[in-house]
Amino acid sequence: MTLNTVVAVMGAVGGLGLLWYVRNLHREILQIKRESYYHQQSLKKIPHDIQGCVDPLKIQVAALAEGKAVSPTLIRSGRLYLERSAEETAQLLANPLLRPHTVLVDVRSAEEFAKRRIPGALLLPVEQLDVRFSVEVPSSAQHIVVYCEDGNRSRLACEFLSRQGLTTVSILKGGLAGWPGPFEGENGNGLIQIVSKPRTSAHSFLS
Listed by start position, the domains of the chain span 1-39, 72-198
Closest CA to 136 of 147, 145, 124, 125: 124
Closest CA to 119 of 167, 65, 184, 68: 184
CATH architecture label of 72-198: 3-Layer(aba) Sandwich (3.40)
Is residue 81 within 8 A of residue 170, CB to CB? The reply is yes
Per residue of the chain (207 residues), what is the pLDDT tens digit? 676 675 566 666 667 777 787 888 888 888 888 887 777 777 666 666 566 678 888 888 888 888 888 889 988 888 999 999 999 999 999 999 999 999 999 999 999 999 999 999 999 999 999 999 999 998 889 999 999 999 999 999 999 999 999 999 999 999 999 998 899 988 654 444 333 333 333 333 333
pTM given for the model: 0.67
